[in-house]
Structure 1
Amino acid sequence: MNTGMKKKAAILLGTALLTSVMAGCGNNSNNEPAPAASNDGSAAASTGPAETLTVEVFDRGIQGQPDLNNNTWTKYVNEKFGKPNNAIVKFVTVPRSQEVDKLNVLMAANEAPDISFTYDGTTVTRFAKNNGLYTLDELLEKYGQQLKSYLGDTVLSYGQYEGKQVSIPAKRTLLAWNGMFIRKDWLDKLGLPVPTTKDELYDTLVAFRDKNPGNVNGVIPWATAAAGMNYTFGNLVPSFWGPMSEEEFVTTTNWLKPGNKDAYKWLNKLYSEKLISPDFALDKTAKQADADVTNGKVGFYGANWDYPLTAKIREPLKQNAPDANFVAIDTFKNADGKYIKETYNENGLFSFIPKSSKHAELAMKYLNWMADPEVLFFLQFGEEGVNHTMVDGIPQGIAQTGENMQMSNLNLDYTLVVNGAELGDTEKNVKTYAAALATGDQSYEKLAVDSYKINTTDGYTGFYYGVTNEASIKFGKTLGDMNKQMMDRLIVAKPAEFDALYDKLVKEYMDAGGKAIQDENVKHYREIKESSSK
């Protein structure tokens, strides 16, 4: 399985919460098979007791959210899929922040929903390795032709383990990850161009610090936070990397890549010159960085490519600094003149059918039904004139209140076969995504299109090994924690102590499991290359 770039919080599950979810799953004593259905999910007849299909859904704790098992979207599912298939679809809520821990408990108790999902590929691999998942090849062939056609071989390959299909990855329609944004109004006030290199950015940050073009109290040239460090420096650090073979680029930990040390030394210099948020290492949730941006104190920052479009940034910024105008930029050019940056792989979340499920055929029919363009459109946008209006072919003003509320952008938690808008065209998908985030404010369309284009140019994806890295499962959590601490310590270190500290921390990282993971990656990489050359 491809582990991707997702990280999951490890939070212990309380007994009371477990009890409530177990009750939500229920014990389905009705195990009669559903009526025979065609590949599009429709049934030839509806006879006998209804079959109950349980499907996971994230509870994101959104204020004012409707009943996650009884709303516009679940009613549509039961009307359009449930009735024709003589089935009842019940949604089992799983707290978003505890999803991996909850799945572990439910799987161990054989109580996981018939269709469960996670963004953590390593978790799915572990379930497959322990023989806890249905092998889906035959089900896909018999009941999933529409699904196979929609996802394609590349996306489906991310859900294979030891040559067998064990999960159904969602198609990720938008691949951008990091983004970099600068106050264009500040540049204009200072008569400065949009920076396109690291040196130009440095000069701009110094000007922001010294001239304070926003006339704000406590100007912050570059805002960042410990919580968002990967986003902030995800485009910067690779721009320092030197020449590498493909094997070195793929398998070598970033800490040992040529030039990586220079990248952090440059960041250390910026911090020592008060060009970066002074207390970023204490900002574990990015709450302070968000506040600084929305209060108009910040000239430059890095985040998700769509960050300025989100309501938590867009609305308070308009109120506090109505003249603020952030634009997307590409400023980290490497020695070859490329602006390399990591992008998402083609897959999103992983849906799977636990071995304990008694409704595997119905589960596959459900996922296959969802791949119908008409179904996807309704689940993402609702009914025209009720949930949205069409403007130049883009759905606008998607309803966000009452039972029409979508608890995730474009109903991500109910559209398990796709991550992102699906209108069959990338530019339309980007504009639609922007419209959904900005609730119809077309002024954000250009920012979204520009940011997406910039942050997929010269992009590279994580190498797909197709097999699990056992050392990563064993040491991944420890190394993930160490990685965050290393970044913080190196950036705030005294410049004279930087080199020795970098060498010391990297050695500790490699000794704590980094070398084991790297060695296993090298082994798998060479096996793949050897196999492909035969």
Structure 2
Amino acid sequence: MNTGTKKKAAILLSTALLAGVMAGCGGNNGNNEPAASSGESPAAEATSGPVETLTVEVFDRGIQGQPDLNNNTWTKYVNEKFGKPNHAVVKYVTVPRSQEVDKLNVLMAANEAPDISFTYDGTTVTRFAKTNGLYTLDELLEKHGQQLKAYLGDTVLDYGKYEGKQVSIPAKRTLLAWNGLFIRKDWLDKLGMSVPTNKDELYDTLVAFRDKNPGNVNGVIPWATAASGMNYTFGNLVPSFWGPMSEEEFVTTTNWLKPGNKDAYKWLNKLYSEKLISPDFALDKTAKQADADVTNGKVGFYGANWDYPMVQKIREPLKQNAPDANYVPIDAFKNADGKYIKETYNENGLFSFIPRSSKHAELAMKYLNWMADPEVLFFLQFGEEGVNHTMVDGIPQGIPQTGENMQMSNLNLDYTLVVNGAELGDTEKNVKTYAAALATGDKAYEKLAVDSYKINTTDGFTAFYYGVPNEASIKYGKTLGDMNKQMTDRLIVAKPAEFDALYDKLVKEYMDAGGKAVQDENVKQYEEIKAGSK
């Protein structure tokens, strides 16, 4: 199936949020103002010529014990290896992760945004481009970005174009898995049951968890979830119910109107009414209750990010509270074609851009180009061998650090702007490296991560790429996104006898609130792309 300039198979899971870019990282409640940190970066010891100052955005995630974000091992390396040879000083401008778009809007409006700014929100980049707020980068890329072009490739760079011009530099996303499903294998073993491979088997398993309570816990929860959008998901359950559609219907039709979509939510409603899903999930707006239920050993099955069981806040308390607990990744939602289809991330991550107000555009491009050097990326992600990591079977194993050696995001995500995810030049190595970083030496959790990644990229698809978000998505996206979450929660907890009428009512309200406008514009854009590909 062709999509014009972007040729990819596609099913659109969230048509109301096409413009949104799924970020592979969560925000924190940092509250620093977006100004350069008080610490001084090492001065460039230029042998000749004026010293040029390049400002670069960096997220403040509010990590306890973090070093000065403008003066640490990583910023010193940047200034030593890039600053000195280019007669420059690189200074970092901190922006709270939880407020990144709001703060970026303020900085851009005041013409004070860093020379290299970034965001995960593709709609924000498009809006800046439409108002002529960004440098067009084609000439700069050609002159100073050959290494960067070679590293990212045309597929990734295309995500940073607006009206055919390069306005941002998307990072390469090296790990594409998104959501996963996890089940207590130790509970299955106690019940003499096999790992479920389809919806019917999963239903029987959840009933057994409810009725037989194999963990002998107070308040067993067969399937844990939280309010929509809060870490816990339903994986690929909904699209597994979808009926036959043409490519255009897959791409342009809002999920709420896709054939079989109502049946998916009716099935979830049935499970909730039979007490197989967290009883108060719709009230769990922060997912703290779901996290507590999982880590206290009460949960038999749940869906979340593909790596969620391996993250420290889940893994460590679960070990303490339920040391025999053994979650394994599974595929349980098979569609009518026998596929376990699931959405994966697109090939791009965050978007770096150079504001029109910058007076150092050439230096900014040189900086991004320099960062695409494999040696540079390796050091920024893994640091010095023997200090920041050890090598085991060709895979760098991180050594926990404090002080200026500490990394404030996984693999220094906020300092490596051209890549999201471990980069060792090979997907298998990248997965093993990420797994090792998550598991911190626990081989069982390393295997869990590797297995989960494999499962959750099998039969994967990416959202259709329209080139730019349509005007209706920009106008109605926030409203429709909020409605999506509310509709999901209300439909699941509704009385079964009232489900059909409520579904129809909510979908009509959704379409009237902008859903139809988004869908109509999707159709128009899709037809234009298809016509252009002929």
Alignment TM-score, normalising by the size of structure 1 = 0.91
Identify the range of structure 1 (224-233 vs 292-301) with the bigger mean alpha-carbon deviation: 224-233
Partner SS for 2:38: coil
Q: 1:4–1:462: 8 Å Cα contact kept in structure 2?
A: no
| Counterpart Cα distance in 2 of 1:15 and 1:480 | 10
Contact 1:38–1:143 (CA under 8 A) maintained in structure 2: no
1:342-421 paired onto structure 2 within 5 Å: 342-421=343-422
Residue 66 of structure 1: how far off its partner (Å): 0.8
Stretch of structure 1 that moved more, 461-470 or 4-13: 4-13
Give 1:388 deviation, angstroms.
0.4
- Which residue in 1 is equivalent to 2:14? 14
- CA distance in 2 between partners of 1:245 and 1:33 (Å): 47
Question: Which residue of structure 2 lines up, in the alignment, with residue 270 of structure 1?
Answer: 271
**Cα distance change on mapping 1:342 and 1:34 into 2, 3 Å:** closer
Deviation readout 1:106-137 (Å, 9 max, x if unpaired): 00000000000000000000000000000000
CA deviations 1:467-515 (Å, max 9, x no partner) are 2310011001111111110001000000000000000000000000000
Residues 14-44 of structure 1 deviation map (CA, whole Å, 9 limit, x = unaligned): 9999999999999999999999999999999
Tell whether the 8 Å contact from 2:209 to 2:300 is kept in structure 1 after alignment: yes
**What SS does the aligned partner of 2:428 have?**
helix
Contact 1:237 1:263 in 2 (8 A): yes
Q: Contact 1:72 / 1:404 at 8 angstroms: preserved in 2?
A: yes
Gap change, CA 1:6 and 1:288, over 3 Å in 2: farther
Mapped to 2, the partners of 1:368 and 1:12 lie a distance apart of 33
Residue 382 to residue 3, structure 1, CA distance change in 2 (3 Å): farther
Comparing 40-49 with 54-63, which one deviates more in the overlay?
Answer: 40-49
1:228–1:286 CA contact under 8 A, matched in 2: no
Structure 1 CA distance, aligned partners of 2:41 and 2:253? 45
Change (3 A) 1:291 1:430: same
Q: Deviations over 1:207-234 (max 9, x none)?
A: 0000000011000000000154685223
8 Å contact kept, 2:172–2:349: yes
Matched with 2:512 is 511
- Following superposition of structure 1 onto structure 2, how do residues 300-339 of structure 1 map, counting pairs within 5 Å? 300-339=301-340
**Residues 532 and 432 of structure 1: is their aligned pair in 2 closer, same or farther, counting only changes over 3 Å?**
same
Once the two structures are overlaid, the 10-residue window that deviates more, 204-213 or 460-469, is 460-469
Distance 1:304 1:341, change over 3 A: same
8 Å Cα contact 1:293/1:313 also seen in 2: yes
Spell out, residue by residue over 1:248-298, the C-alpha distance to the aligned partner (whole angstroms, 9 max, x if none). Answer: 001111101110000000000000000000010011111110111000000
* Counterpart Cα distance in 1 of 2:16 and 2:337: 57
Structure 1 residue 101, shift from structure 2 partner: 0.5
Asked whether the 8 Å contact 1:198–1:332 carries over to 2, the reply is yes
Classify the secondary structure of the residue corresponding to 1:300. Answer: strand
Identify if the C-alpha distance between structure 1 residues 69 and 42 changes in structure 2 by more than 3 Å, giving closer, same or farther.
Answer: closer
Taking CA–CA contacts closer than 8 Å with sequence separation of 6 or more, which of the two structures ends up with the larger relative contact order?
Answer: 2
Give the 3 Å change call, closer, same or farther, for CA 38–72 of structure 1 in structure 2: closer
Q: How far off its partner does 1:404 sit? A: 1.2
SS of structure 1 residue aligned to 2:285: coil
Tell whether the 8 Å contact from 1:21 to 1:93 is kept in structure 2 after alignment.
no
The 1:478/1:14 distance shift into structure 2, 3 A limit, reads closer
Q: What is the root-mean-square deviation of aligned Cα atoms in Å?
A: 7.4
How far, CA to CA, are the matches of 2:401 and 2:261 in structure 1?
44
CA contact (8 A) 1:434 1:445 kept: yes
In structure 2, relative to structure 1, the CA distance for the partners of 1:121 and 1:185 (3 Å cut) is same
CA distance, structure 1, for counterparts of residue 294 and residue 477 of structure 2: 32
**1:290-339 deviation digits (Å, cap 9, x = unpaired):** 11100000000000000011000011010110000000000000011000
1:349–1:33 Cα change, 3 Å: closer
Cα distance change of structure 1 residues 317 and 14 upon mapping to structure 2, 3 Å threshold: closer
Partner residue in 1 for 2:115: 114
Cα contact 1:136–1:167 (8 A) shared by 2: yes
8 Å CA contact 1:40–1:365 kept in 2: the answer is no
Deviates more, 1:318-327 or 1:5-14: 5-14
**Is contact 1:13-1:98 (8 Å) kept?**
no
The CA deviation at 1:440 is 2.5
Question: In the alignment, is the contact (CA less than 8 A) between 2:480 and 2:510 conserved in 1?
Answer: yes
Overall identity of the aligned pairs, in %: 91
Runs of 5+ consecutive residues of structure 2 not aligned to the other structure: none
Q: Mark the CA change 1:2 to 1:246 in structure 2 (over 3 Å): closer, same or farther.
A: closer
